[in-house]
Amino acid sequence: MALALACQTQPAVGATAATTADPTELSLEDLVKMEIPIVEGASKYKQKTTEAPSSVTIITQEEVKKNGYRTLAEILASAPGLYTTYDRNYTFLGVRGFNRGDFNSRVLLLVNGHRVNNSLSDGAAIGTEFILDPDLIDRVEIIRGPGSSLYGNNAFFGVINVITRNGRDLPGLGAEVSGEAASRDTFKGRVTWGQRFTNGLEVLLSGSIYDSEGHDELFYKEFTAINGGIAENADADKSKSAFGSVKYADFTLEGAFNTREKVNPTAQTVMQFGFNDPRLRTRDERSYVTLKYAHDFSGDAVVNAQVYYDRHDFVGHYPFAGTLYEDVQAAEWWGTEVQLTKRLFDRHTLTFGGEYRDDFRQSEQYSPNGFSTVTNRQNYGIYVAGDFAVLTNLHFNAGARFDQYGDFDAAFNPRLALIYNPVGQTVFKAIYGTAFRAPNFFELRRNPDPNAPPPPTPETITTYELVYEQGIGDHLRSSVSGYYNQIDDLITPLGGYYQNLNNAEAKGVEISLEGFWNSGVRGRLSYSYQETQDTTTHQVLTDSPRHLGKFILSAPLMKEKIFAGAEVLFASARETDKGTQAAAYGIVNLTLFSQNLVKGLEFSAGVYNLLDRRYADPATPLHLQDVIEQDGRAFRGKLTWRF
C-alpha cells in the first residue's frame, strides 16, 4: 500500500518527457480500449471529470454489486474523505473531518438532479431511510467542495448526485426480481420492470420491501438501572419503497416514495424513560413527483426544466414518564427550476438558471397537550456559471448564485476555478468558493418569549482547494487534493434556542489511486489527512478522524462470471461529545459476486466486518451514551433474476 502511494505522489518528474501526440495516430485498437470519464452534477451538465471544477468521485452500479454495498451510506463510506456514523436510528455523513451528528444538512443530495433533502431539517437520508432502493442506482457522483454557486442551500461540503438506472438497462422482458437474506433476521425483496419501446417510450417501475429484526439484545452501560442496560428486541428496521419513471421524447415523469420505521434502542432525547421500550420508534416517509423537460436545441443550447411536488412525514413515538408522546411532523413543498446551457464558439459554456420553491406547509404537533408549530417558507435563487477555454488547455470556470429567503438576508455565493491541463493526462485545478446553509425549520422555531435571542442567520463556508489529477498509462488514475475550509456562524443549541455560536476550520489532504484493467481487476486506494478545529473553543471537532484510509478491490476469479470484492476501511480515533474518544478502527468487508453462471442470474454473498472487530461511533449530543457500538460480523446472501 505504502509503495503504491509513494509512486503516485511524485509523478511530475517524468512529465516533461511526454509530448502531445496527434490523436489521429491512435489505432482502432486504442479507441476500442479507451474509456472516457463523464460527470453530470458538478456543473449541471455532462462533462469530463477532469474538466469539472471540483474533486469528483464516481461509484457505479458495478462497484455496488461487486462490493456488496447495502445502503447509500456504505457506498459513500467507500469514497475518499467521507465516513459515516450510525446511532442505530439514522446515519450521519462526515465530509472532510466534519460530522456534527445532525441530519446531513450540509450536504446536498440529489436523485437524478432532484433535491431530496427534506424540508424541516434540510437533512439528507442515506441509510435504509434513503428514498431509493440502492439496487436502482446506476451511479453516484460525489462532488466535493462548495456547490452553492449552482445549487444554493445545503451544498456546503459537497453535492451527491444519485443517478438511477433506466428502462433500457433491463434486457429481455425487462423484469428483475431480487431477494436477499442477511444476519439478524434481515430480508429484502424487490421487483423491477423496465423497457424501452420502439416508439421511444421508456418506463421503469420498481418496488421494494425491507425488514430487519436487528439485534435481539443491545447493551448500554449508561442504562444499567433499567433491565440491566439491555435493550431487548428494540432494533427493528422496516422500510418499503417504490420508484417509477416514464420518459417520452423530451419529457420525464418521475416519482419516488419511501417509508421507514425504526425502533430506537439507544433512547436519545427520552433518556431512561423510554429505554428498552419497543414503542420508542420513529417513522420517516418521503416522496416526490417531478416532471422534467430537457431539450437539446441545435446550435448547442440545452434547456432543462422541472416542476415538482415533495412531501415528508415524520412520526416519533416517545414513551416518557408513563405517557406515550407523539411528535408528528409534516412538510409539503413544490418548486420549479429552469436552466439554459449554451455553448459559445464551441469553446465556452454558459449556464443560466433560476428556481423558485414554496415550502407551503411546515408543521410539527406534539401530543398530548404539546405545542404545535405551523409555518411556511418561500425562496428563489438565480445563478450564472461559465466555463471559458482561455487556452485550449486552460479553462477558467466562474459562477455565482443569489438566493433570497423571506426571513433573512440574501445569500450570494461565488465559485472560481482554474483548470489547467499542461500535458498528457496531467490536470491541475485551483478552486475558490463559498457556500451556505440556511437555518432550518427547527432552528428558526421560537416560542413567544420577549427575551429570546434573535433568530440565527445562515452558516457559511469558504473553501480553497488545489487538485492535481494524473492519469498514469491506460490503467491508473491518481489524484491529490489539498483544501482549507473556513466555516463561520455554525448554528448551535443553547438554552432552548439556536444561535450562531461557533466558527471552525478544517484543512486536509486527500490522496487516491484508482486502477482498472481489462482483465476486470479494479481497485481504489485512498488516504485522507484531516485536521479540524473549532476556532471558538480551540478544540478538535467531535467525530473528526485525523486519518482515513480505504482500500477497495474487486477482481475476477472466473472471467466475467465470478468476482471477489474486498474492502478495508480505516479511521483513526474520534473525539466524542462527552469529551472522550471513540477508538480507531479498521474493518474488512468481503463479497463474492457471480453473474451469468446461469443466464440472467446474479448471486452474491457478503461478509461484513469479517474480523468481527468491536468498534463504536461517537454518539450525538442528545444521547446519554458516549459512543454507540457498531455491528460485528454479519452475512448477506442475495439472488437477482432477470428475464
User: For residues 591-610, which are near another protein according to CB under 8 A?
Assistant: 592
User: Of the listed pieces 29-37, 95-103, 146-154, 627-635, which binds another protein according to CB under 8 A?
Assistant: 29-37
- Give 164 or 239: the residue with its C-beta nearer to another protein: 164
Binding residues for another protein restricted to 390-409, rule: CB under 8 A = 393
159 touches another protein by CB under 8 A: no
d(CA 419, CA 247): 35
User: How far apart are CB 526 and another protein at their closest, in Å?
Assistant: 13
- Give 33 or 614: the residue with its C-beta nearer to another protein: 33
H/E stretch holding 32 reads helix 28-33
Among 45, 62, 86, 503, binds another protein (CB under 8 A): 62
User: How far apart are CB 31 and another protein at their closest, in Å?
Assistant: 6
Do 122 and 155 contact (CB within 8 A), yes or no? no
User: How far apart are CB 556 and another protein at their closest, in Å?
Assistant: 10
3-state SS class at 368: coil
User: Of the listed pieces 30-38, 223-231, 495-503, 538-546, which binds another protein according to CB under 8 A?
Assistant: 30-38
Inter-CA distances, 344 with 52, 301, 330, 388, 410, Å: 18, 9, 45, 9, 31
d(CA 180, CA 636): 7
139 touches another protein by CB under 8 A: yes
Exposure string for 503-538, b = 16+ CB within 10 A, e = fewer: bbbbbbbbbbbbbeeeebebbbbbbbbbebbbeeee
| β-pairing verdict for 107-111 and 158-164 | parallel
User: Of the listed pieces 71-79, 89-97, 146-154, 515-523, which binds another protein according to CB under 8 A?
Assistant: 515-523
Q: Which residue has the cell 430506537?
A: 264
User: How far apart are CB 292 and another protein at their closest, in Å?
Assistant: 19
Ramachandran angles phi, psi of 112, nearest 5°: 50, 40
DSSP state of 280: -
Residue 208, classified by CB atoms within 10 Å of its CB into exposed (0-12), middle (13-18) or buried (19+), is buried
Among 209, 294, 338, 521, binds another protein (CB under 8 A): 521
Among 53, 54, 58, 312, binds another protein (CB under 8 A): 58
In the structure grid, which three cell numbers stand for residue 89, read together? Answer: 436510528
User: How far apart are CB 432 and another protein at their closest, in Å?
Assistant: 24
Binding residues for another protein restricted to 285-304, rule: CB under 8 A = 298, 300
350 touches another protein by CB under 8 A: no
211 touches another protein by CB under 8 A: no
590 touches another protein by CB under 8 A: yes
d(CA 266, CA 102): 16
d(CA 636, CA 186): 9
* Closest to 483 in 3D by CA, of 541, 431, 439: 431
d(CA 162, CA 41): 9
d(CA 225, CA 371): 31
User: Of the listed pieces 10-18, 268-276, 372-380, 593-601, which binds another protein according to CB under 8 A?
Assistant: 10-18
369 touches another protein by CB under 8 A: no
Q: Which residue has the cell 465470478?
A: 562
In the structure grid, which three cell numbers stand for residue 308, read together? Answer: 415538482
- Give 59 or 107: the residue with its C-beta nearer to another protein: 59
Binding residues for another protein restricted to 522-581, rule: CB under 8 A = 522-523, 525, 553, 555, 557, 564, 566
User: Of the listed pieces 183-191, 275-283, 510-518, 630-638, which binds another protein according to CB under 8 A?
Assistant: 510-518
4 touches another protein by CB under 8 A: yes
DSSP state of 216: S
Among 240, 283, 342, 343, binds another protein (CB under 8 A): 343
- Give 54 or 118: the residue with its C-beta nearer to another protein: 54
User: Of the listed pieces 179-187, 230-238, 343-351, 374-382, which binds another protein according to CB under 8 A?
Assistant: 343-351
Partnered with residue 196 across adjacent β-strands are 202
386 touches another protein by CB under 8 A: no
Ramachandran angles phi, psi of 223, nearest 5°: -115, 25
138 touches another protein by CB under 8 A: yes
507 touches another protein by CB under 8 A: no
38 touches another protein by CB under 8 A: yes
d(CA 615, CA 588): 12
- Give 258 or 512: the residue with its C-beta nearer to another protein: 512
| β-pairing verdict for 107-111 and 627-629 | unpaired
- Give 138 or 222: the residue with its C-beta nearer to another protein: 138
Binding residues for another protein restricted to 406-445, rule: CB under 8 A = 421, 423-427
